[in-house]
A and B are shown apart, each in its own frame.
Chain A
Amino acid sequence: MFSKIGLAIGSFFVPLLLALSSIASAAPHAVISPKEFWAGSIPQGKTVTHDFIIKNTGDKPLILNIGHT
């Protein structure tokens, strides 16, 4: 009797939890490493160029808005 009730609850909640977790993980995820760059000693007048790599490990497109100080 109890095992049948347990089976019924399980068959209802487990797919629900799976569905909810999949909704929760359906998001972009930004990964940047490292976030800091030390260029060292640079003679005045030179231009320093550096590439930061940003990866989207999530399962939705990642949108960037970039500004600076």
Chain B
Amino acid sequence: MSIDVPGGHVIPSGKNTRIRVMVSTRGRKGMLRKVIHIHTNDPLAKDINLRISMKVLETIVINPRSINFGTVLEGKEYKKKITILNKGRKKVKITNIIITPSTQMIRLDHVSPFILASGCVKTFTLTFRPKVVKNGFVYGAAVFRTDLDYPSKVVVNIYARVQRKIVQTNK
């Protein structure tokens, strides 16, 4: 939030001034309330609170926002569903979906670009076929890029701990 008082912080007798309040809704959802505290030299109103509130509506809702596969076995296949919903009033174009790491471990059954009409949901299956990595942990992401100014992308984070398959040998 930012506050601007263009007329200055001292108001002469009989005059008025504007307190301009700007509240960004980036990264926020649901009810958003802000309080502006004003301390004055008015003996009858030393402290004044101004309140500004709003309901922030998400345009793109992706579920889940993160996937933790937990401990997984090398070479085995794991699947999770991801849904993407357009809660906005206009259609949204998903211009591109980028999967990282790009080691063929993680795949998404998608064809991008595609258009998501207002109120529509699309479900994807994310397939994870782990390979053993250096420290045993995989940190990945599925990045959905949109044609909107905001959000220009929505990210689903992916985590897993990969365990090496134990191969028993007969002696």
- Residues in A lying within 8 Å of B, measured CB to CB: 27-30, 32, 35-69
Q: Choose the segment among B13-21, B101-109, B125-133, B157-165 that binds chain A (4+ C-beta atoms closer than 8 Å).
A: B13-21
Most buried by A among B9, B19, B55: B19
**Chain B residues within an 8 Å CB radius of A57:** 14
Instruction: Verify A35–B25 contact, CB threshold 8 A.
Output: no
Nearest CB of chain B from residue A14's CB, rounded to whole Å: 25
B15 contacts which of A36, A42, A55, A66 (Cβ < 8 Å)? A55
**Chain A residues within an 8 Å CB radius of B18:** 51-54
Additional A-B contacts beyond A35-B48, A44-B29, A52-B19 (10; CB < 8 A): A29-B45, A36-B50, A37-B52, A40-B54, A44-B27, A46-B25, A50-B21, A51-B19, A55-B15, A64-B10
**Chain B residues within an 8 Å CB radius of A59:** 13
Given A43-B59, A44-B150, A47-B24, do A66 and B36 touch, yes or no (CB 8 Å)?
yes
Q: Which residue of B lies closest to A68 (CB)?
A: B36
**Chain A residues within an 8 Å CB radius of B148:** 45
**Chain A residues within an 8 Å CB radius of B51:** 35-37
**Chain A residues within an 8 Å CB radius of B52:** 36-37, 39, 48, 50
Interface hits, B9-53 → A, CB 8 Å: 9-29, 34-45, 48-53
Q: Which residue of B lies closest to A35 (CB)?
A: B50
Instruction: Verify A58–B5 contact, CB threshold 8 A.
Output: no
Given A62-B42, A68-B37, do A43 and B57 touch, yes or no (CB 8 Å)?
yes
CA distance A22 to B56 in the complex (A): 50
**Chain A residues within an 8 Å CB radius of B14:** 56-57
Instruction: Verify B56–A64 contact, CB threshold 8 A.
Output: no
A65 contacts which of B9, B45, B53 (Cβ < 8 Å)? B9
Instruction: Verify A61–B39 contact, CB threshold 8 A.
Output: no
**Chain B residues within an 8 Å CB radius of A44:** 25-29, 56-59, 150-151
